[in-house]
Amino acid sequence: MADPTARVITREAAPELSGWTAFRLLIASRVRAQLTYRANFVINFAGAFVLGLVEFSEIYILLHNTPLLGGLDLLQAALVFALANVGFALADLVVGQVDAIPQHVRMGTLESFLTRPMPLLLQLVTADFQLRRLGRAVFALLVLVVVLVLLRPEPTAATVYLLIATPLWGATIYAGLFVLAGGIQFFIIEGTEFTNAFVYGAGYAGQLPGSVLIAPLRVAFTFVFPATVTAYLPALVILGLPGPGFLPQWLGWCGPLFALTTGLLAALGWRLGVRHYTGAGG
């Protein structure tokens, strides 16, 4: 017979972690793991940095042979390049991993993600977080600093606001495109090339002066895939330049509206995609 005076020892349940707390812990663990092998990290970081340099060299070569590109000189075009690339690089760092959905489906890991008490998107983001992608953002920031030193735009409140806010809403817009593309991949599992075409196409279009695009593409990359809003239109406001046809300068102030709209569409597309997915037998 059990001793009635014996104490029953119970183990308290571990406190549940919120989604944001779990996200921070997972990202921190990924960062620590990558920094453990510092030589490998430096090489990968340098590779991303050089990628940004190669992309900038395209604009430099074009403007080395012609004085203007879409009505902008080298420094003005470099401002557009820098603003766009900071935003795109940040978005790629945070949510660029969602384009790996087809691989997770084939490997059967997506089903295991769906059974865990954590949002699927956060799990995909933290599954392959790559700190090396900061190399591209660092290069773009260096270009931005050099351009501002040489251009010396008037330091008004509007200029300061746009220089700070534009990369942030640019990152939000590009992140929305990444997530929306991920939602579409639930419907077309082998459609990575298709979705990457408009995500990375928008990223490339965003770093060019919008005036070099033909009219239909200007409309598409402003009101469908709002790439020109991530750099070109705000740069026109900073530089005090008029906009080309279909792209009035005042649209440069509408970045938050485009970011909000893109975010809502991305959330809707992601939700529909996850609901549509019925499993791959994993």
Percent of the chain residues past pLDDT 70, beyond the cut? 91
Mean pLDDT of 201-223: 94
Selection from 11, 30, 42 nearest residue 129 by Cα:
30
Mean of the pLDDT values across residues 254-282? 89
Whole-number pLDDT of residue 18: 58
- Using pLDDT thresholds of 50, 70 and 90, give the confidence band for residue 210: very high
Task: Please tell me the least confidently modeled range out of 36-40, 226-230, 256-260, 267-271.
Answer: 36-40
CA angle 167, 173, 179 (to 5 degrees): 130
Give the pLDDT mean for 12-36: 69
Please give the mean pLDDT across all residues of the chain. Answer: 87
pLDDT at residue 9, as a whole number = 43
Instruction: Please choose, from the candidates 98, 125, 123, the residue with its C-alpha nearest in 3D space to the C-alpha of residue 112.
Output: 123
**What b/e readout covers 142-166, taking b as 16+ CB neighbours within 10 angstroms?**
ebbeebbeeeebeeeeebeebbeeb
What residue segments make up the domains of the chain, in order of their start? 37-276
**What amino acid is encoded at 188 in this protein?**
I
Q: For residue 1, what pLDDT is reported?
A: 46
Of the ranges 1-5, 7-11, 124-128, 183-187, the best mean pLDDT one:
183-187
| pLDDT above 60 (res 16) | no
